[in-house]
Structure 1
Amino acid sequence: MKPRNPSLIGIVARRIVAFSLIAMAIQIGVVFADYWFDDDKLSVLMLQQETENLAGYVQVRDGVVSYEPNHEMRERYQDRHDDDGSIFLRIRTASGVIVYSNCTSECAQHFLPISMDAPQFWKRLIAPGKPFSVAGGQSFERSGTTVLIELAILNDPNGFMYGALLHEMFDSMIVPMTLMFCLVIGATIWSIRSALKPVAMAAQAADALDPRDSDARLPLTRMPQEIARLVSAVNRMLTRVADLIQSQKLFSSSIAHEIRTPVSIAKMELSRIDDPRARNAERDLDALTHILEQLTSLARADAVDPSAYQRTSLSQIGAAVAEAIAPFVFDHDKSLEFVDEGTPPVTAIPALVENMLRNLIENAVKHNPPGTRIVLACGPGPVVSVEDNGKGLVDLPEHHEDLGYVKSSGQLGLGLKIVRRISELHQATIVVDTAPERGTKISIDFSAAV
């Protein structure tokens, strides 16, 4: 299965995600190193965060201050005195009233005297190194009452240092950077979509380009400069292609016209020669003349002017074709019947529709045995069909890269190519119903041209 082309939005989004994650990792590493190698800053951060956590459980009711921790907080700050370390906690008011304490002599050893006014923040190093052994406190206002929460941590048995680091990185780094990252992604996708709207419009315009219109070009309005250069190059290529197509059309029409006259002169001279080989040569020239006529018809179909379309009647076209081609059909020992079941007016090029019906009838005449009955039917509805009771299409053309449509016998399948091309010009659909020895019916539906 052919791999899908990558989306520009997907490419940019993936790269933004990758580089944002790298930037976040680098920034987190820088912040981690900044705190990790600065014991004073990290210990202050740890004490501030832990005292703020404790302050959330201090309540003041009717002027009475109380400490009401939940089970998780009691476990977190439990009184520990072992080799792993210790945690001492004291909560008091500015006036020296003890609200909570889990220490006795340790409080006097590590905390400020009760008689001292409560400072906004204080910290003292008990022992250097990690895990931390520090003491400190912070004052908080609760319903007009100042409360000092003091904490002494020896060897950090509960890993408060790591919690402080993670909390700082989450609050100061991960959350704002993630928010910024989401905004950048959203803004980038929105910007790319807005910038590519003209490109999508150009793609739609490219699909709608009419190959018959030599002035058809892709729009450059509001196109980003980087893509506008590509579109300009495509428009220049379209100009060159239009010139090439026009040259091919002129060549096909001119060569068919120029060869027809000498072929007619050769046939006239051959008619004066009474020899079987002259008759064979005449048949070959007839075949050549037929191919030239088909090439001329194909070139004419490719050189259609959009202004040539007009409202016309398929029934009238069918009747005119049947009348004009009847002698040719009868000369080849075939019969032709015209059936009109009523058709609505359609927008078409009458000369091309006539050409198409003539090709279908000529094919039915040339590829079927004598006595074949051919029916040209118009309607009901915007449908025309050519049906015969001959041997069926046993040599349908297939597409060849170099020669276009070639029959399995090696002959050019120009007749059906002309019919298909004219149908495409009218957005008509072709249905071929054929079977060996049962005949062929080719229907063309002009519903899109009504």
Structure 2
Amino acid sequence: MNAEPPAPRRSQPLVRIVAGRIVLFAAIAMLAQLVAVLVEYGRDPQNLARLLLERETAELAGGLSLHDGRLAFELPTDLASRYGVPASGYFGRIRTASGVVLFSHCDEECTEHFLPLEFNPPSFWMRTIRPGYPLTFAGGREVDIGERSVLVEITVLGDRQQAVWSVLANEALDHMLLPMSLTLIFVLGATLASIRTALRPVAAAAGQAERFDPLVPDSRLDEAGMPLEIARLAGAVNRSYARTRELMAAQKLFTSAIAHEIRTPLAIIRMELERIDHPAARQAIGELDELDHFVGQLVMLARLEAADRSGFEPVDLDELGRDIVGALAPYVYDHGASIAFDASSGPSVLAHPPLLKDAVRNLIENAVRHGGPAVHIRVGTDNGPGLFVEDDGVGFAPASRDAPAGDAPGHYRRAGGLGIGLEIVRRIMALHGGYLETREATPCGARARLVFPPAGEAPVTPAR
């Protein structure tokens, strides 16, 4: 049992790819720097003790208040687990410069570490009790509240609640994560804006490529303003497209030359067969006529491939249909069929007259050749605008699974036909921005309709 091929990966915008990688590498850089910061701080417990002292005294000072010139203190709730319970290992004292104690959470264990009350304290002091980890120190600093100064002192014996980690988190947030995040936002925004600006000509080139018209020989991508690498790609696309046009031109020339070269010997062979009075010769002449018709279709296809819209002009569909019916009437009646033309209100379209005549001629010949004996053909126009060829013959045979690879899905081909005539008609209509509509006629037969774009709409690029 064959394994199913993996589903193709969806392409992502370059902006998203670059943004994702910038964020990823920035996150890796931030993580690496965070580790470096932690290692650096970890090597200096004295500095960590100072930072913890500043943080704890600042939070304790948040409980100070001044009312009518009187100082008061209330222990903040989030510090109660450290400075509101005995034997926590954290001790605090708040006093004025004159020695008046506003708050004290201190026992005999910590009294010896604080400065004496009668001592005029400095604005900041710290003493290491035991070097290294866990942090064990005492210190204090002066805090101003209104016009009054207060000394907030703490003693930490072992840092049992690991308050040092909150210090490290604040340091990382304030001095690393926040600045780097702002830098990342600026760099990311500037990078994405630069990419969008640089890709603007690329997006324009993609729009040009979508509108490439094979019938315009100088179609190419504009390389002006593109980044060098993208310009090289656009240049390669232009050169590849030029080589494709050369191959198409060579194919058209080859097809046309072969078709013309074959028609001459076919005519000679037919003349020789007409001299032979034998049923086999008559059958061979019929087969030669089929081959000559096929070669004529190849010539018509080569002419179609070489056509462009420079030859477009207003065409009256009624007049064109009437001319085609008149020109092909002898051919139709010689084959035992009949033909008539139904005019409408004279719709006009912008078209290439010779190609449009080829399309209608193909439909009529197709009806004669494959519609069955004594088929009646009706050609007419409508205000769609459109032009139709309808017959009461054998109709269309839906394409089956065994149909030739060239038959497009949903298309129909006449019973017994090769389908090249209808493919030529489809291409002619694609060149005119329209399409070929085929269906069964009522009560029997087939109806093929050339549907043109509404008046005022420009033809679209044909699908090749």
Fold match (TM-score > 0.5) = yes
| Shift of residue 246, structure 1, vs aligned partner | 1.0
8 Å contact kept, 2:397–2:412? no
8 Å contact kept, 1:343–1:382? no
What is the aligned partner in structure 2 of residue 183 from structure 1?
Answer: 186
| Shift of residue 171, structure 1, vs aligned partner | 2.0
What is the aligned partner in structure 2 of residue 335 from structure 1?
Answer: 338
8 Å contact kept, 1:252–1:299? yes
What is the aligned partner in structure 2 of residue 301 from structure 1?
Answer: 304
8 Å contact kept, 1:111–1:135? yes
What is the aligned partner in structure 1 of residue 3 from structure 2?
Answer: none
SS in 1 for 2:437: strand
8 Å contact kept, 2:395–2:444? yes
CA distance in 2 between partners of 1:202 and 1:166 (Å): 50
| Shift of residue 47, structure 1, vs aligned partner | 0.9
Please point out which of 11, 16, 28 is paired with 1:5.
Answer: 11
What is the aligned partner in structure 1 of residue 249 from structure 2?
Answer: 246
* Paired letter, 1:400: A
- What pairs with 1:66-81 in structure 2 (closer than 5 Å)? 66-81=72-87
Residue 410 to residue 196, structure 1, CA distance change in 2 (3 Å): farther
2:167 maps to 1:164: yes
What is the aligned partner in structure 2 of residue 431 from structure 1?
Answer: 437
SS in 2 for 1:210: coil
| Shift of residue 237, structure 1, vs aligned partner | 0.8
CA distance in 1 between partners of 2:167 and 2:25 (Å): 27
What is the aligned partner in structure 1 of residue 238 from structure 2?
Answer: 235
CA distance in 1 between partners of 2:330 and 2:72 (Å): 118
| Shift of residue 88, structure 1, vs aligned partner | 1.2
* Paired letter, 2:260: H
Residue 419 to residue 138, structure 1, CA distance change in 2 (3 Å): same
Give the stretch that moved more between structures: 103-112 or 235-244.
103-112
CA distance in 1 between partners of 2:303 and 2:73 (Å): 99
Please point out which of 129, 154, 157 is paired with 1:154.
Answer: 157
Instruction: Among all aligned residue pairs of Structure 1 and Structure 2, give the percentage whose two residues are the same amino acid.
Output: 42
SS in 1 for 2:395: coil
8 Å contact kept, 2:391–2:446? yes
CA distance in 2 between partners of 1:401 and 1:175 (Å): 64
SS in 1 for 2:180: helix
**TM-superposition CA deviations, 1:316-349 (whole Å, max 9, x none):** 2111111111111111111212112224322111
* Paired letter, 2:280: R
| Shift of residue 261, structure 1, vs aligned partner | 2.5
Please point out which of 271, 274, 279 is paired with 2:274.
Answer: 271
| Shift of residue 97, structure 1, vs aligned partner | 2.8
Please point out which of 394, 401, 405 is paired with 1:400.
Answer: 405
CA distance in 2 between partners of 1:31 and 1:347 (Å): 76
**TM-superposition CA deviations, 1:58-103 (whole Å, max 9, x none):** 222333222233422333422432xxx4211111223333222222
Give the stretch that moved more between structures: 64-73 or 35-44.
64-73
8 Å contact kept, 2:316–2:348? yes
- What pairs with 1:255-270 in structure 2 (closer than 5 Å)? 255-270=258-273
CA distance in 2 between partners of 1:242 and 1:118 (Å): 93
| Shift of residue 240, structure 1, vs aligned partner | 1.0
Please point out which of 46, 56, 60 is paired with 2:66.
Answer: 60
Please point out which of 427, 444, 453 is paired with 1:447.
Answer: 453
8 Å contact kept, 2:397–2:413? no
What is the aligned partner in structure 2 of residue 145 from structure 1?
Answer: 148
| Shift of residue 113, structure 1, vs aligned partner | 2.7
What is the aligned partner in structure 2 of residue 133 from structure 1?
Answer: 136
CA distance in 2 between partners of 1:449 and 1:281 (Å): 48
What is the aligned partner in structure 2 of residue 100 from structure 1?
Answer: 103
Give the stretch that moved more between structures: 289-298 or 181-190.
181-190
Give the stretch that moved more between structures: 359-368 or 131-140.
131-140
**TM-superposition CA deviations, 1:286-308 (whole Å, max 9, x none):** 11211111111111111113211
8 Å contact kept, 1:79–1:88? no
8 Å contact kept, 2:391–2:441? no
- The normalised TM-score by structure 2 is 0.89
8 Å contact kept, 1:126–1:135? yes
What is the aligned partner in structure 2 of residue 213 from structure 1?
Answer: 216
Give the stretch that moved more between structures: 410-419 or 39-48.
410-419
What is the aligned partner in structure 2 of residue 226 from structure 1?
Answer: 229
Residue 389 to residue 287, structure 1, CA distance change in 2 (3 Å): same
What is the aligned partner in structure 2 of residue 14 from structure 1?
Answer: 20
8 Å contact kept, 1:428–1:449? no
Give the stretch that moved more between structures: 183-192 or 421-430.
183-192
What is the aligned partner in structure 2 of residue 321 from structure 1?
Answer: 324
**Consecutive unaligned residues in structure 1, runs of 5 or more:** none
Please point out which of 374, 385, 388 is paired with 2:391.
Answer: 388
SS in 2 for 1:110: coil
| Shift of residue 105, structure 1, vs aligned partner | 4.5
**TM-superposition CA deviations, 1:193-247 (whole Å, max 9, x none):** 2222221211111111111122110111221111110110110111111111111
Please point out which of 311, 314, 327 is paired with 2:314.
Answer: 311
CA distance in 1 between partners of 2:16 and 2:98 (Å): 64
Residue 343 to residue 101, structure 1, CA distance change in 2 (3 Å): farther
| Shift of residue 132, structure 1, vs aligned partner | 1.3
* Paired letter, 2:307: V
| Shift of residue 358, structure 1, vs aligned partner | 0.7
Residue 359 to residue 401, structure 1, CA distance change in 2 (3 Å): closer
* Paired letter, 2:15: I
CA distance in 2 between partners of 1:116 and 1:343 (Å): 116
Residue 74 to residue 106, structure 1, CA distance change in 2 (3 Å): same
SS in 2 for 1:320: helix
What is the aligned partner in structure 2 of residue 174 from structure 1?
Answer: 177
2:423 maps to 1:417: yes
8 Å contact kept, 1:348–1:449? no
**Consecutive unaligned residues in structure 2, runs of 5 or more:** 1-6, 457-464
How many residue pairs get aligned? The number is 447
Residue 366 to residue 436, structure 1, CA distance change in 2 (3 Å): farther
Give the stretch that moved more between structures: 407-416 or 291-300.
407-416
Give the stretch that moved more between structures: 160-169 or 66-75.
66-75
Please point out which of 349, 354, 358 is paired with 1:351.
Answer: 354
2:32 maps to 1:29: no
8 Å contact kept, 1:133–1:155? yes
Residue 382 to residue 250, structure 1, CA distance change in 2 (3 Å): same
| Shift of residue 379, structure 1, vs aligned partner | 0.5
What is the aligned partner in structure 2 of residue 196 from structure 1?
Answer: 199
